[in-house]
Amino acid sequence: MSWTKLTLVSLPIAAAAVVAAIWWSGELPSDLDPQQTRPTLVIAEHRTARLQALYQMQPKLEAELGVRLKIVEYPAPPQDYFTKLVTELRAGNAPDVFTVPRDLQVDDLAAAGYLANLTADVEAWSGYQQLPALVKTLTRASFDEQVYVVPSIVAVEQLYYRHDLLTAAGISTEQPKDWQDLLNRSRLIKQQMGQFPLMIPAGLTWGMGSYTEGFRYLLASFQDYQLLSAGNQYQLNDDAVHQAFGFYQTLVQEQLTPVNPLLNPEPWVIPKYEMFPKGELLITTCGSWCKVFDWGPGSRNPIANVDTSVQTWKFPSADGGEPFALASVVYAWAVNAKSRQQQLARQLVLALGEVDVALAYAVKLGNVPARLDAKEHPDFIALGSLMQDHALLTESRALRTTVGSNAMMAGVAQASEAVLTGRANAVQAQQQLHDYVVNVLGAEMVEQQLAKTLPLPAALPADVEKN
């Protein structure tokens, strides 16, 4: 007889009574499966690799918590997953536990009342002390500083370049020191190799990726810039925003980036999955998943010896600061605020934040565990070259967002497309972004005071200067 007092306590009253009666009688009826008497938690998951990781960990999680996990497979594309999730949250029939794709979506979901406040649970959790300070910050909503998600894996984002091809062409592969150095290297690649040197995602059809995989790198290039003001407003009048659009303008005017593919319905397909593997594009922003998902042996267009052929640079600064890596808390676990199994759901998301679960996901997805003590786990070595990315967690940067991040990102996508197509210069693009966010979110969400004017980087053309 394997029933314990703890198991009985965790069961619904009616089920516990049945099991208790059976326990006292000394035997279970042959037609009563012990698994069926456990409470059920519904958990949403999507994408093949993530589902494989969850199914791998399911027996262990069920045994530890004394529950049954009902895994509901959601649509694979991230936007489809998120749309279905939000629809069900609005309708009040969402799963007990689910993931939030990126940290910048936490504020909107928490403000809408969809996420349970996990502050007390997480702060009492032993894993909390193992989280880097940046990761701790990104699990909190900016409007109340409460914790709404439990992090499991983190994406570390840098510049990825074709080390094999640049070396063969005799072009330096040293870390670019600043924007000027990166642009000069790009001009040399175009001149000597005749290929597009650099892609930083932009445009309408890339959606939120125009911000997360593109514009965010450029904004973070300024050491003193934060996207949010002290009053939790978006700082879109800042000179850093203007200069970030100016960098795009330079890439377009000097034909250093492949513009036409960025205007396609699926703008990532040609440059990332075709041009980069063929050597027709030499440098791109990407994250710790790219050597597994985009160009790894199991990808559609694998690059031979990807760990040595493709290497990384930190993103260079614009203002003399040190080059940096970005970090994003991706697919952190959250509890449905309307779950009827609150206590068990909270126990489950903490269990999902443990190192062994994070490693199972990280190996399959190419990201890194959020916790620093992962490096002490015997399976940590399975990360291979990703161990180097994990070491960057304590020094990485991020830009916090607040409520309305989707509108801000949509504004970036529209304004950057205007630069790509030549319909706007940097000044006009900044104004377009500002006006869009004000129209959607209201003027109170945008800092109206003009920030200090930053010195124009020498890399940018004269017509990027403000009038």
3-state SS of the chain?
Answer: CCCCHHHHHHCCHHHHHHHHHHHHHCCCCCCCCHHHHCCEEEEEEECHHHHHHHHHHHHHHHHHHCCEEEEEEECCCHHHHHHHHHHHHHHCCCCCEEEEEEHHHHHHHHHCCCECCCHHHHHCCHHHHHCCHHHHHHCECCCCCCECCECCEEEEEEEEEEHHHHHHCCCCCCCCCEHHHHHHHHHHHHHHHCCEEEECCCCCCCCCHHHHHHHHHHHCCCCCCCCECCCCCECCCCHHHHHHHHHHHHHHHCCCCCHHHHCCCCCCHHHHHHHHHHCCEEEEEEECCHHHHHCCCCCCCCCCCHHHHEEEECECECCCCCCECEEEEEEEEEEECCCCCHHHHHHHHHHHCCHHHHHHHHHHHCCEECCHHHHHCCCHHHHCCHHHHHCCCCCCECCCCCCCHHHHHHHHHHHHHHHHCCCCCHHHHHHHHHHHHHHHHCHHHECCCCCCCCCCCCCCCHHHCCC
How many whole angstroms separate alpha carbon 268 and alpha carbon 274?
A: 9
Q: What percent of the chain has pLDDT over 70?
A: 88
In this prediction, residue 30 carries a pLDDT of 52
In this prediction, residue 34 carries a pLDDT of 62
- pLDDT surpasses 60 at 140: yes
- pLDDT surpasses 90 at 463: no
In this prediction, residue 6 carries a pLDDT of 38
- For the beta carbon of residue 90, count every other beta carbon within 10 angstroms: 11
For residue 73, list its beta bridge partners: 45
- pLDDT surpasses 70 at 182: yes
- pLDDT surpasses 60 at 338: yes
The distance of Cα 242 from the centroid of its chain, to the nearest Å, equals: 24
In this prediction, residue 394 carries a pLDDT of 97
pLDDT band per the 50, 70, 90 thresholds, residue 333: very high
User: Mean pLDDT over all residues of the chain?
Assistant: 90
Q: What percent of the chain has pLDDT over 90?
A: 84
- pLDDT surpasses 70 at 466: no
Average pLDDT over residues 99-113: 96
Average pLDDT over residues 200-217: 97
How many Cα atoms occupy the beta-carbon half-sphere of 281 within 13 Å? 25
Give the model confidence (pLDDT) of 401-429 as tens digits.
Answer: 999 999 999 999 999 999 999 999 999 99
In this prediction, residue 255 carries a pLDDT of 98
Average pLDDT over residues 58-69: 97
- pLDDT surpasses 90 at 18: no
In this prediction, residue 461 carries a pLDDT of 53
How many whole angstroms separate alpha carbon 332 and alpha carbon 361?
A: 12
Give the model confidence (pLDDT) of 249-267 as tens digits.
Answer: 999 999 999 999 999 999 9
In this prediction, residue 344 carries a pLDDT of 97
- Residue with the larger pLDDT of the pair 24 and 174: 174
Give the model confidence (pLDDT) of 428-453 as tens digits.
Answer: 999 999 999 999 999 999 998 655 55
Mean pLDDT lowest among 2-6, 107-111, 456-460: 2-6
Torsion of CA 265, 270, 276, 281, to 10 degrees: -80
Average pLDDT over residues 349-358: 98
- Is the pTM of the predicted complex or chain greater than 0.95? no
In this prediction, residue 77 carries a pLDDT of 82
- pLDDT surpasses 70 at 455: no
Residue type, 356: D
